[in-house]
Amino acid sequence: MADTEQPQIYLVTPPEFDLNDFPQTLARVLDSADVACIRLALATRDEDRILRAADAVREIAHRYDIALVLDTHVVLAQRLGLDGVHLLDGARSVRWARKELGDDAIVGAYCAQSRHEGMAAGESGADYISFGPIGQTALGDGAVVERELFEWWSEVIELPCVAEGALGEEEIASLSPVTDFFAFGEEIWNQDDPAEALARLTRVITA
């Protein structure tokens, strides 16, 4: 898949945002590039904040006919009627999430740098696998995903994969032939104009 089709954009929300202005910012970002999926990835565990944020983001996502998945919270994703869930514990929760959400839901799994974990998640019913980080970040242990993993995955495995975490233009250009999705989050939200930032990164994919 990845070697014949241009990678798609997978948008990750900021870990926290103001409900008074983020929906408008998000709409401008969605106007700047074609986005395949949005992931609500809040740092808070406050259920009420997650519910209110999900309602606001879902309204924008559905206006643009874009799927919305929620980080980690399978039960909340089900209660809110979202399109699916993004799991952060590799293959461990995939089978349970699939059983809870049903066959039509999107179930994604972040598998860090582990080919084995990615394969296990796929066998357990995941719809896509996310690998990262691509570049150095302040979080984690400093480990990054080598291009070789994406090359192997694109040649051997049909399940779509997502590249995420500290994506710069050089990394995007390098991985474009061998990944199905790029997940952009802090790469655009930390900029003065997130819409322009996403448009610039997207141009690297299409170059």
Q: Which residues contact 154 (CB under 8 A, 6 or more apart)?
A: 1, 2, 3, 161, 177, 178, 179, 180
- Give mean pLDDT, residues 177-206: 96
Kindly report, residue by residue over 67-93, the tens digit of the pLDDT. 999 999 999 999 999 999 999 999 999
> Distance between CA 83 and CA 55 in Å, rounded?
13
Q: For residue 207, what pLDDT band results from cuts at 50, 70 and 90?
A: low
Which structural domains are found in the chain, ordered by start?
8-75+136-206 (3.20.20.70)
Kindly report, residue by residue over 29-50, the tens digit of the pLDDT. 999 999 999 999 999 999 999 9
**Is the pTM value of this prediction over 0.85?**
yes
Query: What is the pLDDT at residue 46?
Result: 95
In the predicted model, is pLDDT for residue 2 greater than 80?
no
- Give mean pLDDT, residues 171-180: 97
Q: 67: which DSSP letter?
A: E
Kindly report, residue by residue over 129-158, the tens digit of the pLDDT. 999 999 988 767 789 999 999 999 999 999
The b/e string for 164-197 (b: 16+ C-beta within 10 A; e otherwise) is bbbbeeebbeebbebbbbbbbbebbbeeeebbeb
Query: What is the pLDDT at residue 3?
Result: 43
